[in-house]
Amino acid sequence: MVLGAGSHGLYLFTGDRHNRVLYERWGFSLIEERHVGRLTAYHLFRPAAA
């Protein structure tokens, strides 16, 4: 994965719990879990390599 110069990392969100687990295996960390009605959105972030 290549990030642009000055990038702090990558952000994504998913509504699928199974995808959350996969992203966490790839180095993403959960920053927020938001519930809206029956929907759960998982917000994840992976910092740029130092």
Residues 1-43 have pLDDT tens digits of: 556 666 788 999 999 999 999 999 999 999 999 999 999 999 9
CA pair distance 14, 7, nearest whole angstrom: 21
Q: What is the pLDDT of residue 5?
A: 67
Any domain includes 3: no
Any domain includes 2: no
Is the pTM higher than 0.85? The answer reads no
The boundaries of the domain holding residue 34 are 9-47
Q: How confident is the model at residue 49 (pLDDT cuts 50, 70, 90)?
A: confident
Q: What is the pLDDT of residue 1?
A: 57
Any domain includes 32: yes
Q: How many domains in the chain?
A: 1
Any domain includes 4: no
Please give the sequence-ordered ranges of beta strands (E in DSSP) within the chain, or none if there are none.
9-14, 29-36, 39-47
Any domain includes 33: yes
Any domain includes 22: yes
33 backbone dihedrals φ, ψ, rounded to 5°: -120, 115
Any domain includes 25: yes
